[in-house]
């Protein structure tokens, strides 16, 4: 993660969710671009499609099921740096910052602060309350030549191999998922062993694709570690930039502790080395 010269971190995202703005988001996106154009001049407007369905299992209820399918298009606006290494994004209910070039947490939070302050300064935005805040890290762990993935990750992190009693049965893909309650919110941890993509499926979206952030898939054994830590507010909490930045720091603490426990001593020694040129 942060402060490790050779860290396996490949993607970081921080998100703020607020009550939905029903219309006019294009105007606010244009104003935000105007405020941030000096450092985030590259602009993308992307439509993401979502489908949800409430399934009724009663016999003969096919037409009722079809009537409960909800198709929704969410328009997302992205504002990327000149080299597309960092980008803000904005929708009718979400504001966030993501990057494939994370350095350390203080730098990330300072950038998020600058963007949020620019957003809140937009006239007539009326954004006063927040519903949730979240912070997520994705690490791509691959062993050096001649080493095994088990040399890098603790046994509880990796999906187990089948017992020898089953005969020859090689693990092709595997997943481990756990949900935790922390002092600051809810933390979801998942590890994906040799998945088909180098980012979790929900993150391999047009925003990330436009920035070219998905790493090449390693040829050998590898794993993704995905740590997603967030806090919901019920009732809603009034927006306070200082408190939001402080909460990001809090969320990071438990995430970092989990990361440190997931890696072996050997992995930490490798990740703390200066990256080779």
Give me the pLDDT at residue 71, please.
64
Summarised one tens digit per residue, pLDDT across range 168-206 is 777 788 899 999 999 999 999 999 999 999 999 999 999
Distance in angstroms (rounded) separating the CA atoms of residues 223 and 238: 39
**Which of the pair, 126 or 60, is modelled with greater confidence?**
126
Where does the pLDDT of residue 208 fall: very low under 50, low under 70, confident under 90, or very high at 90 and above?
very high
Give me the pLDDT at residue 169, please.
74
Summarised one tens digit per residue, pLDDT across range 132-180 is 999 999 999 999 999 999 999 999 998 777 777 777 777 788 899 999 9
Summarised one tens digit per residue, pLDDT across range 107-124 is 999 999 999 999 999 988
Torsion sign over Cα 68, 179, 268, 107: positive
User: Average pLDDT for residues 56-69, to the nearest whole number?
Assistant: 53
Least confident span in 55-64, 187-196, 211-220: 55-64
Percent of the residues in the chain that have a pLDDT greater than 90, as a whole number: 73
User: Average pLDDT for residues 7-22, to the nearest whole number?
Assistant: 93
- Evaluate if residue 261 carries a pLDDT over 50: yes
The per-residue pLDDT of the chain, averaged, comes to 88
Distance in angstroms (rounded) separating the CA atoms of residues 100 and 11: 5
* Beta carbons of 116 and 217 less than 8 angstroms apart: no
Q: How many CB atoms lie within 10 A of CB 186?
A: 15
User: Average pLDDT for residues 102-106, to the nearest whole number?
Assistant: 92
Long-range contact list for 204-209, CB < 8 A, 24+ apart?
Answer: 205/48, 206/44, 206/46, 206/48, 206/76, 207/44, 207/46, 207/76, 207/78, 207/87, 207/89, 207/98, 208/11, 208/98
- Evaluate if residue 65 carries a pLDDT over 50: no
């Amino acid at each position: 993660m942060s402060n490790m010269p050779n860290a396996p971190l490949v993607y970081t995202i921080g998100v703020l969710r607020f009550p939905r703005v029903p219309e006019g988001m294009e105007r606010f996106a244009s104003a935000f671009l105007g405020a941030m154009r000096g450092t985030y001049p590259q602009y993308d407007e992307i439509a993401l499609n979502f489908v949800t369905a409430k399934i009724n299992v009663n016999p003969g209820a096919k037409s009722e099921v079809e009537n409960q399918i909800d198709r929704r298009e969410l328009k997302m606006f992205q504002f990327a740096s000149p080299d597309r290494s960092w980008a803000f994004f904005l929708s009718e209910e979400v504001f966030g910052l993501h990057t494939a070039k994370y350095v350390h947490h203080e730098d990330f939070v300072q950038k998020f602060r600058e963007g949020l302050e620019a957003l809140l300064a937009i006239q007539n935005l009326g954004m006063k309350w927040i519903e949730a805040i979240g912070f997520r890290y994705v690490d791509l762990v691959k062993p050096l030549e001649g080493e095994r993935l088990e040399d890098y990750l603790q046994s509880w992190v990796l999906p187990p191999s089948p017992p020898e009693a089953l005969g020859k049965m090689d693990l092709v893909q595997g997943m481990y998922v756990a949900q935790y309650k922390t002092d600051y919110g809810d933390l979801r941890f998942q590890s994906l062993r040799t998945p088909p993509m180098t980012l979790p499926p929900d993150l391999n979206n047009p925003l990330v694709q436009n920035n070219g952030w998905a790493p090449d898939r390693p040829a050998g054994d590898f794993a993704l570690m995905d740590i997603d830590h967030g806090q919901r507010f019920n009732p809603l909490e009034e927006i306070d930039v200082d408190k939001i930045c402080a909460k990001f720091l809090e969320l990071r603490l438990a995430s970092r502790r989990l990361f440190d426990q997931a890696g072996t001593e050997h992995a930490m020694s490798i990740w703390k080395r200066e990256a080779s040129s």
